C-alpha cells in the first residue's frame, strides 16, 4: 500500500490536473555514435493541435516513438497528463497513436478489429464493440463496419487507424504522417476530422507531416525540427513572425500570371522603379519572384508613399496581364521551414 | 449526433474501467492468433504435410515389418520419433513467423502501443503456435496402433512419446519465437529456425562408433532432439524384457540422463523466452543491427 502511494506521488509531474497534457524535457536519443535527437523540449495543451515538422531524418519519428513509449530516451524525461515517462504502461493508457504506415489484418472487419483493441485496453467485449461502433460513426465508416479491412481504400484505413487510436479515449493523439499517400480530397477530409476530434474531445494532438500548407491550416502550434534538434517552437503566428528572414525575403513578393505571359510580365516588372530583379520561380505554373530594394531607413515606406509591391501590381494591371496569385515571400510556414532547415544544414 | 455517440463511448469506457469482466490479454491474443492460424488455413496445410510424411514413414515401416526386417517395437519407436520430429517443425515455423511477420506487416506497433503486458502478448502467441501439436499427436495414434499389431510397446511409446514430444514442441515453439523476436524479417527468422532445427538433427546422422564416445554422449544429452531419440529408444525398445536391457545397468542410467537433457534444455529455452526476452519485446528486432554490423565488417574487409 505504502509502496503504491510512493509510486503515485513519484509518477505525478508537470501537467498533472492541468491543461498541460505533455511536457518534454531535454529528450535525447543516441544510436551508437549517431545523435538522432538532441534536447527536445516542448509542451502541449488540451484542445490544441501541434504540428511536428521537419525534413526526412530530422528526428520526428524518433521523437514520436519516444513520446509514445516505443523507444527509451538516452537522457531526458517527459510527462503525459502528469505521468512520468518512467511508467510507460500507464502512459499508454493515456495516449492514442496512429503510427506511420500502420498495417491492418485484412481478413477481419472493422468492428471486430476495434472490439479486439478495445478489449486489449481492458474493456469487456460488449462495451468494446459499442465503443467501436460509435468511433466508426465518428470517423465516417459506420456503413463499412462489417466489411473486411482488406477491401478498404487507403483513406478508409487511415480513418480506421484514427478510430483505433481513440478506443481508449486518449488525452493525447499522436499522428505520424496520417495524410501520406492520400489524394487531395482525402488529405483535406482527414485533416478536418483531426481538427474536429481535437476540439470535441478536448485532447491534445501531435501531428507529424510534410504537408506544410495543410499543417498551417489546422495546427495551433508548431515544433520545427532539423538534424535532431528543435529549431523553432510556438504558435504558427509566433514561429512565422519570430524567424529572422534574410533581406531578400523581407523585400520580395511572389506573383502568379498565366504561364504564356511570364516573359512579358517579367519585363514589365523589371521596369518598375525600386525593383532589383525578377526571376521565374515556377515558370510552368506562372510564378515570378520580384525583389525590390530595401528602404534606406530600414523601417519600410511611409504610409503615404506607395509600397513597391503595390507598384508591381499596378504595372501588371496597367499592361493587361491577369494576376492569378500574389503573396509576400517569407509570410508562410513553408518559407520559415525552408529557411530554418537550410540554416542548420549549412 | 456524432458528439452524442462520442460521449456515449466515453461513458462506456469509464464503466469498463471498473468492470471485472475483462478477458486476460494472453487469452485475447491467443484467440486472435488461433483464428488466424486455423481459419487462414496455415495450420491445416502444415498438418496435411505432416500426415503425408507420416504416411510415407508408416508405409515403409509396415512393409519392412511384413518382411520381418523391423520388429514392431522398433517400428513404433521410429514412427513416434518421426512424428515428434515432424511435429516440432510445425510449431517452430509457425512461431518463427509470428513476431517478425507482424513487423513486416507493420501490425506489431499497434499491439505494443496498448498497455498490455509484453509477456502476455508473447504467451498468447506461444500458445496459439503450439495448438497444431495436439492435432499432430492425435493424427499419429492410428498409425501407431496399426503398426503395433497388439505389441506391448505401444503404450510406453504413446505415453513417453506424448510426454517428450509435448515438452519438445513447447521448446521448439519457444525457440521459433526467440528467433522471431530477434529478427525483423520472416524470411530470416525462418531460415535461422530451420538452420537450428537441422543442427539439432545432425548428431543422429553420425556413424555408430562416434556416437558411443563420451563427448558425443554429452552432445546427445544437450541436443534435445537427439536426447529424445535416445530416451525413446531406451524406454520403448531396450527396456522390454525380450530385448534384455536389464543386463546393462549403465544404459539404464543414461535413459534418465537423456530425459533430463530434454527437460533441462527445454526449460532453458522456455525460461529464456518468458523471463528474459518476452518482457522486453522490442518494436524492432536486434537481428537487423546484427546483420548491418556483419555487412559493414564485410565491406570494411574488402
ipTM over 0.85: no
What pLDDT does residue A82 have? 92
Q: Per-residue pLDDT for A346 more than 90?
A: no
pLDDT reading at A294 higher than 80: no
Does the pLDDT of residue A341 top 60, yes or no? yes
Q: What is the pTM of this model?
A: 0.80
| Contact (Cβ atoms closer than 8 angstroms) between residue B126 and residue B54 | no
Q: Which residue has 503486458 as its cell numbers?
A: B117
Interface test with A, best of B109, B120, B290 (most A CBs within 10 A): B109
Structural domain total, chain B: 1
Structural domain of residue B234, as residue ranges? 2-301
The helix (run of H) or strand (run of E) holding residue A242 is helix A236-242
In whole angstroms, what separates CA A332 from the centre of its chain? 14
How far apart are alpha carbons A42 and A222 in whole angstroms?
10
In angstroms, rounded to a whole number, what is the distance separating the alpha carbons of residues A176 and A211?
Answer: 12
pLDDT tens for residues B205-264? 777 666 667 788 888 888 999 999 989 988 888 755 444 444 444 455 678 889 999 999
Confidence class for position A57, pLDDT limits 50, 70, 90 = confident
**Cell 512424428 belongs to residue:** B83
Sign of CA dihedral A336, A238, A275, A312: positive
List A residues 110-139 in contact with B (Cβ-Cβ < 8 A).
116-125, 127-128, 130-131, 134-135, 137-138
CA A71 to chain centre: 21
CA B250 to CA B257: how far, in whole Å?
Answer: 11
Which residue from B105, B114, B170, B104 is spatially nearest to B137, judged by alpha carbons?
B170
Average pLDDT for A14-22: 71
Q: Is A195 on the interface with B (CB under 8 A)?
A: no
B12–chain A nearest CA distance, Å: 6
Q: Are B93 and B190 in contact (CB under 8 A)?
A: yes
Q: How far is B288 from chain A (nearest CA, A)?
A: 14
pLDDT at A8: 38
Flag whether pLDDT at A259 surpasses 80.
yes
* Residues facing residue A20 across a β-bridge: A45
In chain A, the residue whose alpha carbon lies closest to the alpha carbon of B103 is: A103
Contact in structure between B65 and B72 (CB atoms under 8 Å): yes
Q: How far is CA A105 from the centre of its chain?
A: 28
Q: Per the CB < 8 Å rule, is B114 touching A92?
A: yes
Q: Is B35 exposed, middle or buried (0-12, 13-18, 19+ CB in 10 A)?
A: middle
Mapping DSSP to helix (H, G, I), strand (E, B) and coil, where does residue B142 land?
A: helix
Give the lowest-confidence range in A122-136, A210-224, A293-307, B130-144: A293-307
Within 8 A by CB and 6+ apart from B200, the residues are B223, B224, B225, B226
* Segments of chain B with pLDDT less than 50: 1-2, 5, 9, 12-13, 16-20, 241-250
Nearest-by-CA chain A residue for B32: A116
According to the model, what pLDDT value does residue B213 have? 77
pLDDT for position A187: 83
pLDDT at A305 over 70: no
Cα distance from A76 to chain B (closest Cα, Å)? 21
Q: Tell whether the torsion through CA atoms of A141, A147, A148 and A151 is positive or negative.
A: negative
How far apart are alpha carbons B59 and A72 in whole angstroms?
Answer: 57
pLDDT of residue A239: 81
Q: What is the pLDDT of residue B139?
A: 95
pLDDT tens digits, one per residue of A113-137: 999 999 999 999 999 999 999 999 9
- pLDDT over 70 (residue A69): yes
Phi, psi of B221 (to 5 degrees): -70, -35
The span from the CA of B13 to the CA of B20, in Å, is 13
Lowest average pLDDT, out of A174-183, A212-221, B157-166, goes to A212-221
| Whole-number Å distance between alpha carbons of B125 and A96 | 24
Q: How far apart are alpha carbons B176 and B197 in whole angstroms?
A: 10
Cα distance between residue B272 and residue B268, in whole Å: 6
Average pLDDT (A5-30) is 68
Amino acid at each position: 500500500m505504502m509502496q503504491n502511494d510512493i509510486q503515485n506521488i513519484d509518477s505525478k509531474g508537470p501537467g498533472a490536473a492541468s491543461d498541460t497534457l505533455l511536457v518534454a524535457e531535454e529528450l535525447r536519443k543516441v544510436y551508437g555514435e549517431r545523435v538522432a535527437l538532441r534536447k527536445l523540449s516542448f509542451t502541449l495543451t488540451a484542445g490544441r493541435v501541434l504540428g511536428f515538422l521537419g525534413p526526412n531524418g530530422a528526428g520526428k519519428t524518433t521523437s514520436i516513438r519516444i513520446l509514445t513509449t516505443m523507444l527509451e530516451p538516452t537522457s531526458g524525461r517527459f510527462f503525459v497528463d502528469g505521468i512520468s515517462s518512467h511508467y510507460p504502461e500507464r502512459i499508454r493508457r493515456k495516449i492514442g497513436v496512429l503510427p506511420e504506415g500502420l498495417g491492418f489484418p485484412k481478413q477481419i472487419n472493422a468492428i471486430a478489429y476495434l472490439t479486439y483493441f478495445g478489449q486489449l485496453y481492458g474493456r469487456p467485449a460488449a462495451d468494446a464493440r459499442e465503443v467501436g461502433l460509435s468511433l466508426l460513426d465518428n470517423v465516417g465508416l459506420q456503413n463499412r463496419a462489417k466489411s473486411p479491412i482488406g477491401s478498404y481504400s487507403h483513406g478508409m484505413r487511415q480513418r480506421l487507424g484514427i478510430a483505433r487510436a481513440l478506443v481508449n479515449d486518449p488525452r493525447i493523439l499522436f499522428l505520424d504522417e496520417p495524410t501520406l499517400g492520400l489524394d487531395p480530397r482525402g488529405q483535406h477530409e482527414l485533416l478536418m476530422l483531426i481538427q474536429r476530434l481535437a476540439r470535441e474531445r478536448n485532447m491534445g494532438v501531435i501531428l507529424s507531416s510534410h504537408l506544410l500548407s495543410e499543417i498551417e491550416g489546422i495546427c495551433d502550434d508548431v515544433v520545427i525540427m532539423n538534424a535532431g534538434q528543435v529549431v523553432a517552437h510556438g504558435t504558427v503566428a509566433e514561429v512565422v513572425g519570430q524567424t529572422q528572414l534574410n533581406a531578400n525575403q523581407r523585400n520580395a513578393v511572389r506573383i502568379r500570371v498565366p504561364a504564356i505571359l511570364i516573359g512579358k510580365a517579367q519585363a514589365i516588372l523589371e521596369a518598375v522603379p525600386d525593383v532589383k530583379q525578377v526571376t521565374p520561380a515556377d515558370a510552368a505554373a506562372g510564378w515570378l519572384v520580384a525583389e525590390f530594394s530595401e528602404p534606406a531607413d530600414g523601417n519600410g515606406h511611409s504610409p503615404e508613399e506607395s509600397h513597391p509591391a503595390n507598384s508591381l501590381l499596378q504595372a501588371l494591371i496597367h499592361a493587361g496581364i491577369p494576376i492569378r496569385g500574389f503573396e509576400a515571400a517569407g509570410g508562410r510556414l513553408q518559407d520559415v521551414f525552408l529557411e530554418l532547415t537550410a540554416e542548420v544544414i549549412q | 449526433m456524432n458528439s452524442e455517440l462520442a460521449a456515449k463511448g466515453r461513458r462506456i469506457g469509464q464503466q469498463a474501467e471498473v468492470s471485472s469482466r475483462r478477458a486476460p490479454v494472453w487469452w485475447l491474443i491467443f484467440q486472435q492468433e488461433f483464428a488466424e492460424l486455423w481459419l487462414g488455413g496455415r495450420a491445416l496445410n502444415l498438418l496435411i504435410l505432416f500426415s503425408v510424411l507420416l504416411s510415407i514413414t508408416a508405409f515403409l515401416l509396415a512393409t519392412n515389418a511384413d518382411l520381418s526386417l523391423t520388429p514392431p517395437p522398433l517400428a513404433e519407436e521410429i514412427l513416434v520419433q518421426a512424428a515428434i520430429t515432424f511435429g516440432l517443425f510445425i510449431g517452430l515455423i509457425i512461431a518463427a513467423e509470428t513476431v517478425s511477420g507482424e513487423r513486416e506487416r507493420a501490425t506489431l506497433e499497434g499491439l505494443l502501443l496498448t498497455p498490455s503486458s509484453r509477456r502476455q502478448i508473447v504467451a498468447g502467441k506461444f500458445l496459439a503456435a503450439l495448438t497444431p501439436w495436439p492435432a499432430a499427436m492425435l493424427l499419429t495414434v492410428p498409425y501407431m496402433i496399426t503398426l503395433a499389431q497388439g505389441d506391448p510397446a505401444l503404450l510406453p511409446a504413446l505415453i513417453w512419446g506424448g510426454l517428450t514430444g509435448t515438452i519438445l514442441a513447447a521448446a521448439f515453439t519457444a525457440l521459433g519465437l526467440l528467433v522471431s523476436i530477434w529478427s525483423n524479417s520472416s524470411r530470416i527468422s525462418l531460415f535461422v529456425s530451420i538452420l537450428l532445427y537441422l543442427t539439432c538433427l545432425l548428431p543422429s546422422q553420425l556413424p555408430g562408433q562416434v556416437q558411443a564416445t563420451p563427448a558425443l554422449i554429452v552432445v546427445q544429452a544437450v541436443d534435445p532432439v537427439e536426447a529424445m531419440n535416445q530416451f525413446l529408444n531406451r524406454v520403448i525398445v531396450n527396456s522390454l524384457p525380450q530385448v534384455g536391457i536389464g543386463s546393462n545397468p549403465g544404459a539404464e542410467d543414461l535413459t534418465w540422463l537423456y530425459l533430463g537433457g530434454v527437460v533441462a534444455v527445454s526449460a532453458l529455452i522456455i525460461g529464456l523466452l518468458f523471463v528474459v526476452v518476452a518482457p522486453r519485446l522490442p518494436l524492432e528486432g536486434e537481428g537487423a543491427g546484427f546483420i548491418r554490423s556483419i555487412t559493414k565488417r564485410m565491406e570494411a574487409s574488402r
